[in-house]
Amino acid sequence: MQLLVSVTDVEEAENAIEGGADIIDIKNPSEGSLGANFPHVIREIVSKVPSSLESSATLGDVPNLPGTVSLAGAGAAWCGVNYVKVGLMGVRTLEDAVFLLKQLRHAVKMINPHIKVIAAGYADAAMVKALNPLLLPLVSSQAGIEGCMIDTAIKDGHNLFYYLNRYQLENFVTEAHGSGLICALAGSLREVDIPLIQELGADIIGLRTAVCEGDRVRGRVSKDKVQRIRSTLEMKFLTSHPQTTYP
């Protein structure tokens, strides 16, 4: 499972890289769960990410405005990231979500056909009147994008597992993988949640608060905290995949 760490600037990115993150996710938490950062910041961070790692950029918790979102996606793709993530805040129906994502995919691929588009939904969708996140595998598959993830919109201390149970998340992961999609889970996750995320079979775990000194908006990504999460991930992997010894 890959470790995605959300960062806001070069200093945080360097801490995430040195701490062992696999994906450097560039966002602006002061603008929301998937708040977008500035193009010059994204490009500066991307220039610091080693070729052995990947980068992603968020477009925001977007309204149902496919043209606006497509233009934002083209801008993020121009910044040189490997993934473009979009939070489906404003769409209410499966049809609208598919249409928006198709337009975003087209815009991103015009800039670079190798960039992956990830649709993000919200575990607390009912509270913000957003699309049911459990529809994301179907939506993403129909839109022809590469992956989907579940996050939380409201950052009030309640995390992913407060809103969705294990059975729902297992089905989400199974449906995503059944459609050949990358599957990511986030949403105020803590170190203690890592074993269950791994058991669910997600490809990517997304973190910010858990690796920050301070809160998700004003806090700063800590290299030591990223290293601790990295060690927890690797320890769990070794426990699940013990080496076989032969006489």
CATH number of 2-240: 3.20.20.70
Q: Report residue 123's pLDDT band, with 50, 70 and 90 as the boundaries.
A: very high
Q: Is the pTM of this model over 0.85?
A: yes
Q: Report residue 242's pLDDT band, with 50, 70 and 90 as the boundaries.
A: very low
Contact partners, residue 213, CB within 8 Å, separation at least 6: 219, 220, 222, 225
Tell me how far apart the alpha carbons of residues 119 and 97 are, in angstroms, rounded to a whole number: 9
Strand partners, 144: none
- The amino acid sitting at 157 is G
Q: Do β-strands 212-213 and 220-221 pair in parallel, antiparallel, or remain unpaired? A: antiparallel
Handedness of CA 193, 196, 200, 205 (dihedral sign): positive
Count Cβ atoms within 10 A of the Cβ of residue 247 and give its class: 0-12 exposed, 13-18 middle, 19 or more buried: exposed
What local confidence, expressed as pLDDT, does residue 246 receive?
Answer: 32
User: Can 85 be counted among the known catalytic residues?
Assistant: yes
Tell me how far apart the alpha carbons of residues 122 and 139 are, in angstroms, rounded to a whole number: 14
Tell me the two tokens of residue 95. 């049809």
What local confidence, expressed as pLDDT, does residue 233 receive?
Answer: 93
- The amino acid sitting at 23 is I
Q: Report residue 237's pLDDT band, with 50, 70 and 90 as the boundaries.
A: low
The answer to whether the beta carbons of residues 207 and 219 sit under 8 Å apart is: no
Element (H, E) at 176: helix 166-178
Tell me how far apart the alpha carbons of residues 152 and 207 are, in angstroms, rounded to a whole number: 12
What local confidence, expressed as pLDDT, does residue 168 receive?
Answer: 98
User: For residue 235, is pLDDT > 90?
Assistant: no
What local confidence, expressed as pLDDT, does residue 236 receive?
Answer: 59
pLDDT digits (tens, 9 = 90+) for 60-82: 999 999 999 999 999 999 999 99
Q: Report residue 113's pLDDT band, with 50, 70 and 90 as the boundaries.
A: very high
What local confidence, expressed as pLDDT, does residue 247 receive?
Answer: 33
What local confidence, expressed as pLDDT, does residue 245 receive?
Answer: 36
Tell me how far apart the alpha carbons of residues 234 and 173 are, in angstroms, rounded to a whole number: 21
Catalytic residue among 85, 102, 116, 223: 85
User: Can 102 be counted among the known catalytic residues?
Assistant: no
Q: What are phi and psi of 41, to 5 degrees?
A: -70, -45
What local confidence, expressed as pLDDT, does residue 216 receive?
Answer: 87
User: For residue 148, is pLDDT > 60?
Assistant: yes
Nearest residue to 4 (alpha-carbon basis) of 183, 146, 220: 183
Looking at every residue in the chain, the average pLDDT score rounds to 94
Domain boundaries, the chain: 2-240
- The amino acid sitting at 122 is Y
pLDDT digits (tens, 9 = 90+) for 166-212: 999 999 999 999 999 999 999 999 999 999 999 999 999 999 999 99
Catalytic residue among 27, 109, 223, 236: 27
More confident residue, 166 or 239: 166
The answer to whether the beta carbons of residues 149 and 186 sit under 8 Å apart is: yes
